[in-house]
């Protein structure tokens, strides 16, 4: 009798714990690395190609490693040909990142991401830009 009472209390508790745990893991898994580019020591632009097989995205985030750089803007080209220009105008130190960038629309297929930057600084290391997308 006591064993049945424990099972009645334990089962709903375990179900709640399962759903809470699974919601945390789905949030972690949704960020996907879309590409990395090593920047040059001048005013330049780089393109990261994204294919439809990567899926549709809601948000972007850029992270700068290895060195520093001055980001001017990002242009996102969608699968339907539309473009979204995102003004950044920020100096990124090594390890810096952009804010979360909301993409226009609900979920968008991205064809490519072009970022414009310069490295007019004293950094001797070439910075790397990593682009992440959130489904």
**Which tens digit of pLDDT belongs to each residue from 71-84?**
999 999 999 999 99
pLDDT at 115 (0 to 100) = 92
Domains and CATH numbers, the chain: 33-134 (2.60.120.1380)
pLDDT tens by residue, 62-114: 999 998 888 999 999 999 999 999 999 888 988 999 999 999 987 889 999 99
SS3 content of the chain, % helix, strand, coil (to 5): 25, 45, 30
| Cα 34 to Cα 44: distance, rounded to the nearest angstrom | 20
| Cα 74 to Cα 58: distance, rounded to the nearest angstrom | 15
């Amino acid at each position: 009798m006591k064993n049945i009472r424990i099972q009645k209390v334990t089962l709903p508790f375990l179900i709640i714990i399962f759903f809470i745990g699974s919601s945390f893991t789905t949030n972690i898994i949704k960020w996907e690395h879309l590409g990395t580019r090593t920047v040059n020591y001048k005013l330049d632009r780089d393109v990261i190609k994204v294919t439809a097989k990567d899926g549709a995205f809601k948000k972007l985030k850029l992270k700068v490693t290895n060195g520093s750089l001055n980001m001017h803007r990002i242009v996102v080209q969608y699968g339907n040909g539309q473009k979204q220009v995102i003004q950044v105008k920020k100096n990124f130190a090594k390890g810096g990142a952009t804010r979360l960038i909301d993409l226009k629309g609900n979920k968008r297929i991205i064809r490519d991401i072009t970022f414009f930057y310069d490295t007019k600084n004293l950094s001797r290391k070439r910075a790397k830009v990593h682009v992440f997308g959130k489904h």
